[in-house]
Amino acid sequence: MSYLVNNLQSVVSIITVVYNGEDTLRKTMDSVCNQTVLPYEYIIIDGKSTDSTLAIVNEYMAQYPFIKLWSDHDKGIYDAMNKGIGLASGQLIGLINSDDWYELDAIEIMTKAYLVNGTGVYYGIQRMFKGAHEYMLERAHHRFIGLKMIPHPTTFISADLYSIIGVFASSYNYSADLELVLRYLQARVNFFPIDHIIANFKLGGASSTPKAALESLKVRRLYGLVSNRAYIFHLLKLRLKKLMSRR
């Protein structure tokens, strides 16, 4: 490693929220623990798992001293993420779910960008998988958030923004990440798109359901990105899709 890379280690906190994630957690943790630049800390927020999740985390903790564990009941994924943010002490915070994984130079790329640009929201390109096969690369610009959310697994946010503007609204079940980004855009926070693949994501989770799409639609309407007419049109489409899926 170069002198520059060695001096990037103290900048980033990574957070993973997990509940009964024994099937996928190792891949996520490996992607963090094998980075070209290691994080200052890696915080695991566990929702009182009943499978072997805690045993896996303890195994990694014995090898990597920068891993920290918090295990307690929570009120949902965004409440758990907020707990992690509250515990984090890095200047830049990344959130990677227990069934997603980083590219091995993700922290290095994001840290270098942060040290050049300072406070802001950093996001990159996401590789998406269907099952075991690569499906597509997803790139979405924050200027068009009314149409498409930026890839949340690739997003790193400077800690000062969480302190000043706020964390996730835990009243949402699926779309608090979208609401947070819209709140930051409304506050004229600096956004920095990064032209690199940062994270990998498997299709088919809760965020892909009609309920999630409906909640996201409501958030966009709340922020004035969807007219009443368009809201009704999309609402009818979602309801029709839900009816068709029952047949």
At 73-94, the pLDDT tens digits run 999 999 999 999 999 999 999 9
Q: Is the pLDDT of residue 207 over 70?
A: no
CA distance 116 to 128: 29
127 and 223 co-located in one domain: no
Q: By three-state DSSP, how is residue 16 classified?
A: strand
198 and 244 co-located in one domain: no
Contact indicator for 170, 179 with CB cutoff of 8 Å: no
89 and 42 co-located in one domain: yes
Contact indicator for 203, 151 with CB cutoff of 8 Å: no
213 and 200 co-located in one domain: no
159 and 186 co-located in one domain: yes
45 and 72 co-located in one domain: yes
**For the chain, percent of residues with pLDDT exceeding 70:** 89
How long a stretch of residues is the chain? Answer: 247
CA distance 51 to 241: 35
pLDDT in tens, 5-40: 455 667 999 999 999 999 999 999 999 999 999 999
CA distance 73 to 79: 10
pLDDT in tens, 138-186: 999 999 998 899 999 999 999 999 999 999 999 999 999 999 999 999 9
Confidence tier at 226 by pLDDT (50, 70, 90): confident
53 and 129 co-located in one domain: yes
179 and 216 co-located in one domain: no
pLDDT in tens, 40-72: 999 999 999 999 999 999 999 999 999 999 999
CA distance 90 to 209: 33
Contact indicator for 124, 185 with CB cutoff of 8 Å: no
133 and 32 co-located in one domain: yes
pLDDT in tens, 126-147: 999 998 899 999 999 999 998 8
Range of the domain at 64: 3-205
93 DSSP β-pair partners? 13, 157
| Assessment of whether the complete model's pTM goes beyond 0.85 | yes
31 and 56 co-located in one domain: yes
List Cα–Cα distances, 241 to 103, 172, 247, in angstroms. 35, 22, 10
List Cα–Cα distances, 124 to 154, 177, 230, in angstroms. 5, 15, 29
Q: pLDDT at position 243, please?
A: 62
Residues 6+ apart with CB under 8 A from 116: none
* CATH code, domain carrying 102: 3.90.550.10
25 and 133 co-located in one domain: yes
Confidence tier at 221 by pLDDT (50, 70, 90): confident
Phi, psi of 94 (to 5 degrees): -115, 145
Q: pLDDT at position 2, please?
A: 36
167 and 219 co-located in one domain: no
Number of domains in the chain: 2
